[in-house]
Chain A
Amino acid sequence: MKNRTTPGAQIAMYAVLIFLAALWLFPIGLAVYKSVQVGGWGNYDAVLTSETFDYWRAIGNSFLMAGSASILIMIVASLAGFAFSKLRFRGRKLLYSLLLGCLAVPIAAVVTPLFFSVNSVGLRDSYLGVIIPLAAFNSLMMLLIMKNHFDSIPDEIIEAASLDGAGLFRTFVRILLPLSGPTLATVGTLSFVYSWNEFLLPNLLLRSAEKFPVTQAISLLEFDRMSLEQISQLYAGLILMTIPSLIVYLVAQRYLQAGVTAGAVKS
């Protein structure tokens, strides 16, 4: 593609980009600076060896909950996405609309029944009690992405397989899943990031600090009347807790971008 812009326009465009990028990088740079302002790089060590806050435990908790939720989501969303896209059954359209209608339901609007039901089945303050609603609320967007993906695979593939006498489940596992690698990676990455970033659900359902994921464990670094050194340590802790997200971003940026656009472009 040839470049149609004049040099003057290019300078203006760069000016806009650089100004905005500076605005976006400023908070990040400032956070890094603040984390060493009082107490130096030793703040990072202080956070990692803190007695009130266990960094690796919080990271492990987040990994456990976000990881389990995204595996669960990949399973239920791909199974259902396949059926809604390729199988014909009574009530298919109605059920699909009923499910996708829930996309607009914010967790915040239904915290009372969520708390009550998780509590009454005895799952309050347990990992599973967070994983199930996490998976439930994130699975619908992923169902949409999976169904759109299966829609793009020609029906003939299924017909050919069923002539061979392969069962539906076998067709799904042997023929459709192998064609779905990138989409599954997208769904997995997006579910993982969204689940990792969730704050409301753990805050509602967990009380023991040793089960807190990173989003909730931030509070363990905050105190009343914090000294400047404690504030610097808090910044160090926040940066340390962002590192796993940065790694995911660097490794799976492609899938994250694909997921964000896949969920939005065709709905």
Chain B
Amino acid sequence: MMRRIQPYLFVLPVTLLAGVLIYYAIGFTAWASFTDWNGLTEMNFIGFGNYVELYHDPLFWTALRNTLVFLVATIAIQAALGLLIAVIAKERLRGSSFFKAIFFLPIAMAPAIIATVFKYMLEANYGSINETLRALGVIDQGTVIQWLGADLGVWSIVFINVFQWMGFSMMIYYAALMSIPEELYEAAEIDGAGWWRRLRSITIPSLRGTTSVLIILGIVGALKTFDIVWLTTGGGPGGSTHFLSTLLYEERSNREAGYSSAIGMVILVIAFGLAMVQIKLANREGGKR
């Protein structure tokens, strides 16, 4: 008898802590998204009312677009730069571990702190970036570039995220590169394949599985992104740089708990949906690492 239930005792703590809490939170969000709840008083069922309202809310579409632009841009840039540096680092140039340490360092730093530093640097009037550009003569003295404005805000946030997380892609590509058998390269070299040819024919195909993993983690990471938006643009000006996560948070503090739960459901559906598609695609390609 004891033998039968013992395994369950080992998995009970994590199930109670994470499983119950997170599934409860998902269920609660799903239910609340069909109510007019304000977070305090009673909940009235209103069917798809919140979703209809979302559909007609231009801020929602802006936030969705910003989230998706961010998702695609950060995944692509971080993968490209990470791969570039990993490939160079694999050549074992002198000092390459020093360079790797620099790019990996921001991962240990709090996004909240990095975001705040960038907010003051990117400030339009007296921020260091515009001041530096003026001093170098790249832009005229009186010119003010609104780095955190409606047009560039999302791209500044993309840049901050690349600064923070590129080292992650680099490290994972590097680990994957080190597991490619050296004989493959030696054989290719005997066949007269140059550096570029070896990169295209051996390195990149071997990294397909790693890239898939980075895409999944990138999707999840993009949907989790909150602090670097909240602490730089705060979703502004006029809601133009909201992400789904920050729009949800703002609606929640505006006593729109039901409405914000509907945004939460959209985030969850995108998270599960895109992750599933990506896993399917990866499996169809043979699921090679």
Residues of chain A at the chain B interface (Cβ within 8 Å)? 1, 3-5, 9-10, 13-14, 16-17, 20-21, 24-25, 27, 30-31, 34, 72, 75-77, 79-80, 82-84, 87-89, 92, 95, 98-99, 101-117, 132-133, 135-137, 139-140, 143, 167-169, 172, 193, 196-197, 199-200, 214-216, 218, 222, 228, 231, 234-235, 238, 241-242, 245-246, 248-249, 253, 256-257, 260-261, 264-265, 267
Contacts and interface: CB of A to CB of B under 8 A. Distances in A.
Interface in B256-289: 257, 260-261, 264-265, 267-268, 271-272, 275, 289
A1 B116 contact: no
B117 A31 contact: yes
B42 interface: no
In order of increasing CB-CB distance, the 4 nearest A-B pairs are A108-B245, A83-B10, A113-B28, A215-B112
Contact of B245 (A14, A27, A106, A167): A106
Contact of A24 (B116, B163, B223, B249): B163
Interface stretch (B68-76, B142-150, B170-178): B170-178
A79 B18 CA distance: 14
Contact of A5 (B91, B112, B226, B244): B91
Given A16-B84, A24-B103, A116-B39, A76 B113 contact: no
A233 to B, nearest CB: 12
A112 B111 contact: no
Contacts of B118: 27
Nearest to B279: A267
Contact of B175 (A25, A137, A265): A265
A20 B81 contact: yes
Contacts of A261: 171-172, 175
B45 interface: no
Nearest to A263: B217
Contacts of A25: 102
A80 B21 contact: no
Contacts of A105: 22, 25-26, 268, 271
A91 B76 CA distance: 39
B93 interface: yes
16 contacts: A1-B92, A13-B91, A17-B93, A24-B102, A79-B14, A105-B25, A108-B226, A112-B264, A140-B18, A143-B14, A168-B10, A197-B110, A199-B226, A199-B230, A257-B171, A267-B213
Contact of B106 (A24, A109, A115): A24
Contact of A21 (B17, B102, B109, B213): B102
Given A13-B88, A25-B102, A139-B17, A110 B224 contact: no
B10 A87 contact: yes
Given A76-B17, A109-B268, A83 B108 contact: no
B11 interface: yes
Contacts of B110: 196-197, 199, 214-215, 241-242, 245
A253 B101 contact: yes
B97 to A, nearest CB: 10
A256 B108 contact: yes
A113 B258 CA distance: 11
Contacts of A4: 91, 185, 189, 195
B112 A199 contact: yes
Contact of B217 (A115, A140, A249, A264): A264
Interface string B7-37: 1101101110111011111101100100000
Nearest to B263: A109
A203 B18 CA distance: 20
Contacts of B28: 110, 112-113, 116-117
Q: Which among B7, B29, B121 has the highest number of chain A CB atoms within 10 Å?
A: B7
A108 B108 CA distance: 21
B176 A137 contact: no
Given A109-B245, A109-B267, A199-B231, A137 B111 contact: no
Contact of A132 (B17, B92, B163): B17
B154 interface: no
B55 interface: no
A214 B171 CA distance: 27
Contacts of B216: 267
B135 interface: no
Contact of B103 (A20, A72, A246): A20
B210 A265 contact: yes
A137 B22 contact: yes
Contacts of B10: 79-80, 82-83, 87, 168, 172
Given A115-B252, A172-B10, 9 more contacts: A17-B96, A24-B102, A24-B106, A95-B19, A103-B220, A113-B28, A193-B107, A214-B110, A256-B108
